[in-house]
Amino acid sequence: MESLNPATEEVIETFDADDERSVEEKLQQAHETYEEWKQQPIEERQRLISKAGEVLRENKQKYAEIMTKEMGKPISSAVSEVEKCAWVCDYYAEHAGEFLQDERIGTEPGVESYISYEPLGPVLAVMPWNFPFWQVFRFAAPNLTAGNVGLLKHASNVPQCALAIQEVFEEAGYPEGAFTTLLVGSDTVEDVISDDRIAATTLTGSTGAGRSIGENAGKNLKNSVLELGGSDPFVVLPDADIEDAAQTGAQARCINNGQSCIAAKRFVVHDDVYDEFMEKFTEEMESMTIGDPMDEDTDIGPQAREDLMEGLHEQVEDSIEAGASLELGGEPLDREGAYYPPTILTDVPDESPAGEDEMFGPVASVFRVSDTEEAIERANKIRFGLGASIWTQDKTQAKEVAREIESGMVFVNELVKSDPRLPFGGVKDSGYGRELAHHGIHEFVNEKTMWVTDVSDTDEMVE
């Protein structure tokens, strides 16, 4: 299993994958640790997740450099990602006890009835390379604090990140087996899900991977959460602050080198402001600094792998061949590394990759619409439903349009982002279930109904 620097195309380090025996040992260790871990008081679990946040902050530069060297994320973004992981640890250290306390429900006199939130067991997390720390921690922080244990099958191109995350929990003082990395390929996942010791599974990844994981979890009657792809609309209405929309839109499209599920990908712009928006948006996209991801001034680094860049470019070429117009970029950069420039396509046909598929790189598809109703129709005219961004200064209109958008999240006059305080997830082909907030910590717990009759009261009534 190779750790390859996409900016230099150099092999950083090579790791031996876990063999069948090693996987078995790790599964058994997780199973045995769970039996003890679930008995730990919530206060102890909160203390440890708080400590994990401290470990992250103390080592943020080291972990950020691992991310940048392994998948090409600009170093400033990588540092911010580590800090965000510490934030989610802090959040559940503070709120997990509140979220998991018994929920009292009044039923009958002489009866104590309530919901008890209890852990399920070892949970398998299948995670992607694009936010290699954050997407793991937004799973791990709530679920370990709920009393589950975690096994991580990370993307094969970020083994150093996977092992570093395990190190965080070890340094924080978690017992062995509470969080374990499995260095395995995708072909092992089905067997792990099927194992009786695994209670549930979660995936962040492509729609295709989600269908496979969901099918395997379903046939084994195991709970699953799927956070899948997206092609988020960025809707610009006539009264929008165009300068702000254009600047934020470029950031929303190119963040993380354009490799984000919740990146703005389809720009739906009202005819009244289309020309003005395009002028400013193009300027903002052109101004992005492309370069060495270890340089603090770099906005866009390389794509995470050469083959991913080649696939993105093929989507652009196919879209142009189908009738789209190229306004900016559109060719891999002639330099060492998997670099692709900010790219803008207009006049995009519906039946083209830019019109119906997810473009996982800094490529923006721009659509002109004549009114708000057409903007809503265009925003919803796709199989994905992860997030959406709406730009207007009319708050009443913003709320009305937001309710019509088919997505799991809508942000008004802001780019779509994940926040520990808010539930995160999508609808349609963008998956199901929620991460973060109190919703996320409840995905992998047994919501047990408890009915306790006061026997002394019963006896008195009988007498």
Judge contact between 198 and 124, C-beta under 8 A. Answer: yes
Task: Look up the domain containing 352 and give its range.
Answer: 232-412
Judge contact between 384 and 364, C-beta under 8 A. Answer: no
10-42 CB burial, b ≥16 within 10 A, e <16:
eeeeeeeebeeeebeebbebbbebbeebbeeeb
Distance CA 190, CA 213 (A): 8
Query: Is pLDDT above 60 for 458?
Result: no
Please report which residue ranges of 322-356 form alpha helices under DSSP H. Answer: 353-356
Distance CA 77, CA 392 (A): 28
Burial class (CB in 10 A: 0-12, 13-18, 19+), 122: buried
Query: Is pLDDT above 70 for 31?
Result: yes
Does 252 fall in a domain? yes
If asked whether residues 219 and 349 sit together in one domain, one would say: no
Cβ atoms < 10 Å from Cβ of 117: 17
Average pLDDT, rounded, for the chain? 96
If asked whether residues 406 and 393 sit together in one domain, one would say: yes
The pLDDT > 90 percentage for the chain reads 98
Distance CA 370, CA 417 (A): 28
**For residue 260, what is the DSSP state?**
-
Distance CA 131, CA 78 (A): 9
If asked whether residues 92 and 189 sit together in one domain, one would say: yes
Count: domains in the chain: 2
**For residue 175, what is the DSSP state?**
P
Residue 424's SS3 state is strand
If asked whether residues 246 and 313 sit together in one domain, one would say: yes
Tokens describing residue 335:
């330099």
Query: Is pLDDT above 90 for 459?
Result: no
Of how many residues is the chain composed? Answer: 463
Does 424 fall in a domain? no
If asked whether residues 162 and 15 sit together in one domain, one would say: yes
Does 330 fall in a domain? yes
Helix, strand, coil fractions of the chain, as percent rounded to 5: 45, 20, 35
Domain end, chosen from 385, 412, 439, is at 412
Query: Is pLDDT above 50 for 461?
Result: no
Mode of pairing for the β-strands spanning 223-227 and 200-204: parallel
Q: What is the CATH number of the domain that holds 189?
A: 3.40.605.10
User: 234, 258, 260, 274: which is closest to 389 by C-alpha?
Assistant: 234
Q: What is the CATH number of the domain that holds 248?
A: 3.40.309.10
If asked whether residues 236 and 122 sit together in one domain, one would say: no
Residue type, 81: E
User: 295, 291, 307: which is closest to 257 by C-alpha?
Assistant: 291
Distance CA 377, CA 427 (A): 16
**CA atoms within 13 Å, Cβ hemisphere of 448:** 13
Residue 457 is predicted with a pLDDT of 55
Query: Is pLDDT above 70 for 132?
Result: yes
Average pLDDT over residues 390-410: 97
Does 458 fall in a domain? no
The model's confidence at residue 323, banded by pLDDT at 50, 70 and 90, is very high
Burial class (CB in 10 A: 0-12, 13-18, 19+), 407: buried
Residue 455 is predicted with a pLDDT of 84
Residue 463 is predicted with a pLDDT of 43
Distance CA 4, CA 412 (A): 38
If asked whether residues 38 and 150 sit together in one domain, one would say: yes
Does 367 fall in a domain? yes
Residue 90's SS3 state is helix
Does 463 fall in a domain? no
Residue 349 is predicted with a pLDDT of 97
Average pLDDT over residues 327-335: 96
The values of phi and psi at residue 153, to 5°, are -105, 100
Residue type, 134: W
Could you read off the pLDDT of 277-305 as tens digits, one per residue? 999 999 999 999 999 999 999 999 999 99
If asked whether residues 373 and 259 sit together in one domain, one would say: yes
**For residue 271, what is the DSSP state?**
G
Active-site residue set = 227, 261
Q: Is 185 left (phi over 0), alpha (psi -120 to 50) or beta?
A: beta
Question: What is the end-to-end Cα distance of the chain in Å, rounded?
Answer: 74
The model's confidence at residue 273, banded by pLDDT at 50, 70 and 90, is very high
Residue 337 is predicted with a pLDDT of 94
Residue 412 is predicted with a pLDDT of 98
285-296 CB burial, b ≥16 within 10 A, e <16:
beebebbbbbee
For the CA atoms of 227, 228, 229, 234, what is the dihedral angle to 10 degrees? -30
